[in-house]
């Protein structure tokens, strides 16, 4: 077993996206059962995924997964400047918390309940399908989100490169960047 998928009874809404940190400043967490049906589409199910050798959303590198009674212990290294070891126990029917995860719109820290821990791909797929039915929409898997982000980045960088090229071509010749080595080699050739 080299991964675990932690399912909870909660969903969250990300508030105030910080582009420099690539994270939300705050996440409002609510029990899925308490969300009105017409608002479910604006929430994301709260799940956690840990895989040995991979970093999670909080830049924690998972180094080990240990089976404990009714759950798993995750150990690894937190990389925030200087590396720090971390250890978290995820136990079914117990709660956990994170610093940016708040209880609804209040300022108290949320404590979502762990409903299940999956160690098999088929179980995860089954759980996600059940969530899709419950939430009334298709959920994006991490791979789909990553591919969409990469496509957007590629498109943006291509558009930026083409805009820069168009600006450079449209300049008068005396304003265009010249290649210094070509200038100096022509000058050198005159004296040979």
Which residue shows structure tokens 């690539």?
Answer: 22
CB atoms within 10 A of CB 61: 15
What secondary structure letter does DSSP report for 81? S
Q: How would you class 7 by CB atoms within 10 Å of its CB: exposed for 0-12, middle for 13-18, buried for 19 or more?
A: buried
pLDDT per residue rounded down to tens, the chain (192 residues)? 699 999 999 988 887 777 777 677 788 888 988 888 888 888 888 888 999 998 887 778 999 999 999 999 999 998 777 888 989 999 999 998 877 788 877 888 889 999 999 999 899 989 988 888 888 777 765 555 556 666 666 666 777 777 777 777 776 665 555 544 455 555 555 555
Q: How far is CA 18 from CA 23, 26, 108, 138, in A?
A: 6, 10, 21, 26
Strand (E) or helix (H) holding 183: helix 180-190
Q: What token pair was written down for 98?
A: 């994170």
DSSP string, 94-155: -B---TTEEETTSSSBP-PBEEEEE-SHHHHHHHHHHHHHHHTSPPPPHHHHHHHHHHHHHH
Q: What token pair was written down for 145?
A: 């989100």
């Amino acid at each position: 077993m080299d991964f675990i998928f932690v399912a909870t009874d909660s969903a969250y809404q990300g508030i105030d996206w910080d582009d420099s940190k690539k994270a939300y400043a705050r996440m409002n967490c609510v029990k899925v059962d308490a969300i009105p049906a017409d608002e479910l589409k604006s929430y994301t199910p709260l799940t956690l995924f840990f895989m040995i050798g991979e970093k999670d959303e909080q830049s924690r590198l998972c180094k080990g997964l240990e089976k404990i009674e009714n759950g798993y212990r995750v150990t690894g290294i937190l990389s925030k400047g200087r590396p720090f070891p971390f250890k978290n126990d995820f136990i079914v029917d117990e709660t956990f918390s994170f610093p940016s995860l708040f209880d609804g719109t209040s300022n108290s820290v949320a404590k979502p309940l762990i409903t299940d821990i999956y160690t098999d791909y088929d179980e995860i797929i089954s759980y996600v399908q059940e969530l899709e039915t419950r939430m009334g929409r298709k959920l994006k898997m991490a791979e789909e989100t990553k591919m969409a982000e990469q496509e957007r980045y590629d498109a943006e960088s291509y558009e930026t490169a083409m805009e820069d090229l168009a600006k450079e071509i449209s300049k008068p010749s005396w304003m265009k960047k010249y290649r210094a080595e070509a200038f100096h080699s022509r000058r050198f050739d005159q004296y040979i």
